[in-house]
Amino acid sequence: MLSVPLLKNRPMKRLLIYMSVVSLFGIVGFSPAFAKQDGTLHIEKDNPKIITLEKAVANALLKNPTLSAHSLEKRVREARTLQSGLLPNPRLEVNVDDALGSGPFNGFDRSETTVQVGQLIELGGKRGARENANRIAERVADKTYESKRLDILTDVNKAFVEVLSSQNKVKLTEELIELGDKFFNAVGERVKAGKVAPIEQTKAGVTLSTFKIEMAHAKLELKQARRKLSSTWGNAEPQFVSVTGNFFKIYPVPLLESLQNKGVETPYLERWKSEQERRQAMVELERANGTPDVTIKGGYRRLDESNDNAVTFGISIPLQIFNRNQGAIAEAQHRLAKVQQERRAAELKINQNFLDAYQSLVLAHSQASTLQSEIVPAAQLAFDGVNEGYRFGKFGFLDVLDSQKTLFHTQELYLSALAEYHKAIAEVHRLTNGFKFSDRIPVSSKNMENDK
């Protein structure tokens, strides 16, 4: 009887090793909670056509246009702080009176020329209040930049996972087509020998065509995933060929309490704290602006009619009869109250997002672990049994084909579950500021086999 080996007809452990070698090594360094005890990401030697997660992250942090824009915003705030601390410039005034008129005033014989210098003196601590408000605004910009940086790291991690998943999907589909082609040829031989009806070869051909359609779809998904990853560092078209990562490694999920305490350390919440401090500083600034400023003037006057000189001086103070800046003070106070409520709402939303992400991680971990340890090996075992029985005539062609489809579908679910698991890790790390990367020695395929 004909032997039909699906995916080399090996036990599940060896199958996973084979697929791991295809993906080389990978996503092991999201944080200490999910990596090895040193919390590191293992990488291989640099290859421009094969990139690691760390290389992708480095590209994004250096070249992502959105992150670069937020970096420039920090420079804007620094320049604004510099400007707010400068003293007002003195004012020079030159006045000529009683000149170029009619009669005795038709020339400059009776004119009076006055030259004055005036200096505005800010009272109420306005300059210090402006500087303080702008320094706090710098901290807000810093936290906004750090928040966006976490968003970019998360996007890179998720896009990297999608490429890894798509690469393994393509590899799995290639093996399925190879197997389907062997089925088609084998059934053709049995048709020629008169052992089966020609309709079975037709069915095998239909199945093979379906596998090829799956391949075209898998390659399209891989192309789209590669383009999405390269867009995180500003490249419309990817310059790399593939990514490398250990897609099949599953780590224990940390306790909720150990991660939840880290949520308060994220820049998302720290930004709101700094924003509240900035609003408080704006209230103090508007109160300071309610204090009138004084302008002191002094200068020289020339009286041409008597050929005399004189000194002039004076002081100018606005009378706060109508405008005491009360409207701006009230506005600043209301904005402070508003940001306090916004901060509270943000804390609730971020905490809810974290709990949702953690629950998604627990579910994804459970599904991936169950598929890895129970379902996929069971599907492999079932196919092995049907395949062996087909050799001795105990099962028909359709039985083998059905078990083959079941195994392929199960492995598809496994790849999807692993992708969701790694994406859930990235999301949890975004909300706990848990991304950590460092260089380590290369990992060989033998190391990966030992990991299995």
pLDDT for 169-227, tens place per residue?
A: 999 999 888 877 877 887 787 778 777 778 877 887 888 888 899 899 999 999 999 99
Q: What is the pLDDT of residue 438?
A: 32
Among 11-20, 93-102, 232-241, the least confident range: 11-20
At the topology level, CATH places domain 6-451 in Outer membrane efflux proteins (OEP) (1.20.1600)
Q: Is the pLDDT of residue 397 over 80?
A: no
The model carries a pTM of 0.75
Residue 191's pLDDT is 79
Confidence at residue 180, expressed as pLDDT on a 0 to 100 scale: 79
Structure-model confidence comparison of residues 367 and 201, the more confident one:
367
Q: How confident is the model at residue 121 (pLDDT cuts 50, 70, 90)?
A: very high
| Per-residue tokens: 404 | 């083959």
Tens of pLDDT, residue by residue over 40-78, are 333 344 566 899 999 999 999 999 999 999 989 989 999
Are residues 246 and 443 in contact, defined by beta-carbon separation less than 8 angstroms?
yes
What's residue 47's pLDDT?
62
- pLDDT score at 315: 95
* DSSP character at residue 89: P
**DSSP per residue over 376-400, as a string?**
HHHHHHHHHHHHHHHHTTSS-HHHH
Distances (CA, A) of 350 to 3, 77, 142, 272, 275: 56, 26, 19, 12, 16
Of 14-18, 143-147, 299-303, 347-351, give the lowest mean pLDDT range. 14-18
**Beta pairing, strands 242-243 & 50-51:** parallel
Quote the tokens at residue 213: 């359609």
CA 71 vs CA 61, 64, 211, 229: distances in Å: 11, 11, 48, 21
Write out the DSSP string of 275-335. Answer: HHHHHHHHHHHHHHHTSPPEEEEEEEEEETTTTEEEEEEEEE----SS-SSHHHHHHHHHH
d(CA 382, CA 406): 9
The answer on pLDDT for 37 being more than 90 is: no
* Each residue's pLDDT tens digit, 337-346: 999 999 999 9
Percent of the chain with pLDDT over 70: 84
- For range 232-241, the mean pLDDT: 91
Q: Is pLDDT above 50 for 449? A: no
pLDDT at 436: 59
pLDDT of residue 194: 75
Lowest mean pLDDT among 297-301, 342-346, 395-399: 395-399
What is the distance between the alpha carbons of residues 281 and 291, in angstroms, rounded to a whole number?
16
Mean residue pLDDT of the chain comes to: 82
Q: In the chain, where are the structural domains located?
A: 6-451
Backbone angles phi, psi at 300, to 5 degrees: -130, 140
Q: How confident is the model at residue 141 (pLDDT cuts 50, 70, 90)?
A: very high
CB neighbour burial string for 389-410, b if at least 16 within 10 angstroms, e if fewer: bbeeeebebeebbebbeebbeb
Which residues, at least 6 apart from 409, have a Cβ–Cβ distance to it below 8 Å? none
